[in-house]
Structures are given as structure tokens and as C-alpha cells.
Chain A
Amino acid sequence: MSAAESPKIDDAQAGGDRAAMARALYRFRQSALSIVGAAIVLMLLALVVVAPWIAPHPEHAAGGFAMGARFAPPSAQAWFGTNELGQDVLSLVLIGGRVSLLSGVAVVLAATLVGTLVGATAGYAGGLIDDALMRFTDLWLTLPGLILAMALAAALGPGVANMIFAIAVAWWPGYARLVRGETLARREDAYVQAARALGAGPLRIVGRHILPNIVSPIIVKMSLDVGFAILTVASLGFVGIGVKPPTPEWGSLLSNARGYLPDFWWTAIFPGLAIFLAVFGFNLLGDGLRDVLDPRARR
């Protein structure tokens, strides 16, 4: 391979963090699709952040309606049309995106936190602790995730926080498995052995040597997962056990609209498109990040 023969950058050329960042960006730019993914994700995030200010009818997202303007098709006044209550679909999708994206990200963060804790402990401790934690994780994995999340969400009652908690509870085992596997692999690395020989304790080894070296696969999995988490949030919304009405959310918007298909297609197509774009964007981004961060692709 050419990589094995590639010359070492010597003192004159190396430049620490800035060079490393520039190099990562260079690799990222090599893949057009990852740029598209990053653009979609950034655009969606920007849109939902400023949603209350750019939405033509922010009051509709808070439950306001205008019965006089029911089922208006997309037009210059209402780009995405209006729904059965005369609410502006564009405003609902924009502001609903806040809940959808926020919950998607929050679910993944919570799951990563728990999964990393369990996985790193199991992977580094090994032996009986590993066996016990991983059998527990496996047990959890045998429960169908979506059904578990639905049952929990239904039991806890509606609300964004409850929904995030319910989905995260079903989501962490994947991270536990990933982190345990990566920890096991890194635990045998020579630099970890060197740290042990220097007398470093388990906290130092896991915190300073193992975790920083496994963030890449975790970040890749996270960015791929945000898409699925958004989908799951939407699914709960679709079956009516997600957020409390009138708070709009892409899944519940879609669910609501299904009774008006196919005549009033715009009520369904735009929330659906939003979900599709978000999932697609995060997946492309995740694939792109994998190319940049995956150590096998790096050498």
C-alpha cells in the first residue's frame, strides 16, 4: 500500500491540532455525500432554532387555529398549505422540528452516557463483572426496543421528557456492546500496557487512555443513530403516545394527517418529507464521519 510508504512529515511541516483538523476536513471533503449530509443537518438545525421567528404563524403551533382557512392547498401565502384546523403546515413543521430533532439528539446522548458507563466498566473490569453486565445487556436486547419504549412511554404518560427517557431506556444496550468491544480491544494496546506498567489506576487508564481513543466509533454510531431516534420519536407520536397535544411533532403531524389522504396530501407530505430529510441527512453525515474518523480508513 502506498500508505505504508508515505513519507513521515518532518518537523518543518507538522503543526499540531490545526494541521490535524485541516487534514480531517480534507478527508471529509473527499466525499461529496458527507458534505450533503452535513449541509442538510446544519440547515435543519438552523431552521428549527430560528423557527419561532421565521414561522409565518407561530401561534398555530401553540394551538391557535383559523377555521376559515381550512385545507388550503400550498400557495404563495401558505407554502405548505393548511390543515383541518386552518393551521399553517409550514409553521407546524418548523416548530414541530424542535421537538423531533431535540428528542432525537437527547435520546442518543442519554443512551450513549449509560451505554458507555456500562460498556467501559464491563470491558475494563472483565471477569465476573463483565459477564454479569453483558448478560444483563443481552437480556435487555432481547426485548423489542420499540415496544419497550411504547410501553414505558404509555406508562409514564405524555410529555417530551418522558418520551426521551422511554426511548433512551430501550436504546443504551447497543452502546454498551460497542463500548465494551472497543474497550476490550484498546485494553490490550501497548500504550495501555505502558500506562499500567507506570502504575496508572483503572480510572486513569479508562478515562485518559481508553475513552479518548474510542470516541470516534461512538460519534459515528451516534450520528447514524440520531436519524433512527428521530424516526422512533415520530413513531411514538404517530401512535399517539409521544408528546402532549397541542405541541406539534413530526410523527404526530403525520399521524393526524393520515385521515385526510389523498385529497389533502400536503398535510402529510411535508412532515413526512421533514422526517425523511432528517434521517437521510444524519445517515450521510454518519457515513462521512466514519470515513474521517475510522482508524482503519486513516492509516
Chain B
Amino acid sequence: MALVEIENLHLAIRAFEGEAQVLAGVDLAIERGEIWGLVGETGCGKSLTGLSISRLVSSPPARYPKGAIRFDGRDILAADEAEMRKLRGRRIGMIFQDPTTNLNPAFRVGEQMIDVALHAARVDASVLGLDAKASARARRAAARALAVRLLERVGVARAAERVDDYPHQFSGGMRQRVLIAMALIGKPDLLIADEPTTALDVSVQAQILKLLHELAREQGLAILLITHNLGVVAQIASHVAVMYAGRVVERGAARAVLKAPAHPYTQALIASLPRAGAARGSLVGIPGVVPNLFSPPAGCRFAPRCPLAVARCGEAPPLEAAGAAREVACWRAERAA
């Protein structure tokens, strides 16, 4: 059994224009120690997939008409808020794009980390390595020690001093490290990282990716890396899932998917990247626009833009194995590959 299992997940969000079918068949299975790159363009539902795992999509206006999410065997969609709060503080860590707005500027980073640690310890006393009867003072001291240890772990130099600094005293890259340290407090099994390096310079991005890669390798942390940047995914992901208009259209080992994409959408996406040696004017992008999710096309959602579309594409293709290390949802995949 995989750590995270998402099966045929559907998500609909009610809005003024009607009900948008924002997720319509997301299938994903993440094992401990794997880094999954979840890629796709604006509006494809990749962030909502991440938020759904920790049930952070407010419902209403959202609802889950079909599908399942299981975390370590537990049915997430059936869990109540109290249960979810325990999971979020402890076993699922999250980091987001903007490291500035996710830290409270009015408190020292150490204080914020201690708060999180004490909260996590209420769920699971072992987080602080103390038994449940330890005094408040002892818990606080242990939480502070843990904060320093984790800041060291994520590469904050002189962590014992910097734990008393305010967020504004850290650079953007360092703030993202602090947030990663914070996410690690509850010794999570899964880290959901939503565009964690998009706001950072490339040199800083490389350092953060290196850190995430080490965490997965050394601690067996499972990482769901949500990004639009295929370069980032190619660097550290062990596996890739490509989403289009609310569906996973292709998934598998990173090398298989990125080196020899099977789905026409994945192919077009990779062909849009300006790579070394590309002649000026040679990139064309993907003609057409993403479908309207209030009234999505029946069948394959990419069909209206697909150069290989045939009549059969009016029927939704299932996600099926194509080769050893990959699955693809396309009737024409064999020929496309």
C-alpha cells in the first residue's frame, strides 16, 4: 500500500457561472522516499490536488462527487476536521510559493517554530522526545532545541543565534528554508511543496532543490512537488504526473515521461521549452486555449487542441500502462510514443 493513494478524484467548485469541474480524474500513488513532480499549466488543478490531500479546499463551495484519497490507508475525504488537523500538524507538511507571506512578520522565527512544535506535541508527544507528563517549561525548552536542530538541518548557518531573528532578517531563500524546517517539525511522512522555488532566483532555487532531494533520500520523506517548471522536475523528481484540465494524463518514472513523453500534451509541453540549440522562431507553443471547466468537452479534454485527435477521443481514455515505467491516458498513445 502506497503512502498516498488518490483514485479517480473529482472536485467541483460552485461559482457564479455554474459548477466548475476542476478535477475530473486524478490518479496518483506516492510511496515513501519518492519525489513526485506534479506538473501542468495554470488552472490544470495541480494546486487543488495538493490542497485536497490535506483537505484545505473549503467546501462549500467545493465538493468531491467521486473518487478517494487515502493517506496511510486512512480515508481522507471521510475524515473530520479534528482528525485532519492532527494529520496536518504532524504527518503532512506543506510549503508554498511565497516564503514571505507564510511567516508572521511580528514574531521571531523561533517563536513560530516553537508554537508549531508544541501543537504537534499535543498530537504526538514523541515529537519533542518527552513523555506526556513533562512540565510546560521542559516542553518549551525541548521545542526550542528542536527548532534549532531543524534550522541546522535545512542549512541555516549559526542556527542557535538566528532562531531569535525576525523573518525580515532572512533572505527569500533562507525564509523558504525556515518554512521547510517548520514543515519538518512533526516528522511528516509527506511534504507537499507547491511551487516552492518559483519566487526565488535560480541560484537559490538550486540550493532549495538540493535540500528537498536530500530530505527524500536520507529520511525517506515522500514529496509532492507541484510546479509548472519542467526543469525543476527534471532535476529532482523520481516520478512525474502531468495534469491537463483536471486530469492526470500521463504519469510514471521521471526519465520515461520527460525523455520520451507518450501523451500528445506532454510532448507539446516539452516541445515548448526553449532548449539549447533551438532556432529562433522554431517554438510554436500549443495552439488553442484550455477548455472551459464549466462545460468541459466530453471525452479527452485535450482532444480539441490535439493534432492526433480522432473520433474515438470523444470518449474519455483510461490511464493505462504504456511500457514498463509509465501510464498514459490517450487512445493514440502507442502511435504517439
Task: Report A's interface with B, CB cutoff 8 A.
Answer: 1-2, 4-10, 12-13, 22-23, 26-27
Given A2-B22, A5-B48; 17 other pairs, CB 8 A cutoff: A2-B13, A2-B48, A2-B57, A2-B58, A2-B62, A5-B43, A5-B45, A6-B43, A7-B20, A7-B293, A7-B294, A9-B17, A10-B289, A13-B292, A22-B16, A23-B16, A27-B16
Asked whether B16 lies within 8 Å of A7 as measured between CB atoms, the reply is no
Asked whether A7 lies within 8 Å of B48 as measured between CB atoms, the reply is no
The residues of B that contact A10 with a CB separation of less than 8 Å are 289, 292
Interface centre among A9, A22, A23, A27 (most CB of B within 10 A): A9
Within 8 A of A (CB), among B38-57: 42-43, 45, 47-48, 57
Question: CB of B15 within 8 A of chain A?
Answer: yes
The residues of A that contact B293 with a CB separation of less than 8 Å are 7
**Closest CB pairs A-B (n = 6):** A7-B293, A26-B16, A7-B43, A10-B292, A23-B16, A5-B48
Task: Give CA–CA (A1, B48) in the complex, Å.
Answer: 8
B153 → A minimal CB distance (Å): 30
The residues of B that contact A27 with a CB separation of less than 8 Å are 16
The residues of B that contact A26 with a CB separation of less than 8 Å are 16
The residues of A that contact B142 with a CB separation of less than 8 Å are none
Task: Give CA–CA (A206, B47) in the complex, Å.
Answer: 38
Interface centre among A6, A12, A13, A27 (most CB of B within 10 A): A6
The residues of B that contact A8 with a CB separation of less than 8 Å are 43, 290
The residues of A that contact B57 with a CB separation of less than 8 Å are 2
Known A12-B292, A13-B292, A13-B294; contact A6-B20, beta-carbon cutoff 8 A: yes
Task: Give CA–CA (A13, B20) in the complex, Å.
Answer: 13
Asked whether A7 lies within 8 Å of B62 as measured between CB atoms, the reply is no
Asked whether A6 lies within 8 Å of B15 as measured between CB atoms, the reply is yes
Task: Report B's interface with A, CB cutoff 8 A.
Answer: 13, 15-17, 20, 22, 42-43, 45, 47-48, 57-58, 61-62, 289-290, 292-294
B26 → A minimal CB distance (Å): 13
The residues of B that contact A2 with a CB separation of less than 8 Å are 13, 22, 48, 57-58, 61-62
Task: Give CA–CA (A2, B51) in the complex, Å.
Answer: 9
In the complex formed, the residue of A with least CB distance to B292 is A10
Query: Could you name 26 residue pairs across A and B whose Cβ atoms are closer than 8 Å?
Result: A2-B13, A2-B22, A2-B57, A2-B58, A4-B47, A5-B42, A5-B43, A5-B45, A6-B13, A6-B15, A6-B20, A6-B22, A7-B20, A7-B292, A7-B293, A7-B294, A8-B43, A8-B290, A10-B289, A12-B292, A13-B17, A13-B292, A13-B294, A22-B16, A26-B16, A27-B16
The residues of B that contact A6 with a CB separation of less than 8 Å are 13, 15, 20, 22, 43
Say which residue of A7, A22, A23 sits within 8 Å of B22 (CB atoms): A7
The residues of B that contact A23 with a CB separation of less than 8 Å are 16
The residues of B that contact A7 with a CB separation of less than 8 Å are 20, 22, 43, 290, 292-294
In the complex formed, the residue of A with least CB distance to B56 is A1
Asked whether B292 lies within 8 Å of A9 as measured between CB atoms, the reply is yes
Task: Give CA–CA (A293, B257) in the complex, Å.
Answer: 45
A291 → B minimal CB distance (Å): 14
B286 → A minimal CB distance (Å): 15
Task: Give CA–CA (A82, B294) in the complex, Å.
Answer: 61
The residues of B that contact A9 with a CB separation of less than 8 Å are 17, 292
The residues of B that contact A12 with a CB separation of less than 8 Å are 292
The residues of B that contact A13 with a CB separation of less than 8 Å are 17, 292, 294
Task: Give CA–CA (A7, B45) in the complex, Å.
Answer: 9
In the complex formed, the residue of A with least CB distance to B43 is A7
B102 → A minimal CB distance (Å): 13
Interface centre among A7, A9, A22, A23 (most CB of B within 10 A): A7
Known A10-B289, A13-B17, A23-B16; contact A5-B22, beta-carbon cutoff 8 A: yes
Task: Give CA–CA (A4, B293) in the complex, Å.
Answer: 14
B324 → A minimal CB distance (Å): 33
Task: Give CA–CA (A5, B43) in the complex, Å.
Answer: 4
Asked whether A5 lies within 8 Å of B47 as measured between CB atoms, the reply is yes
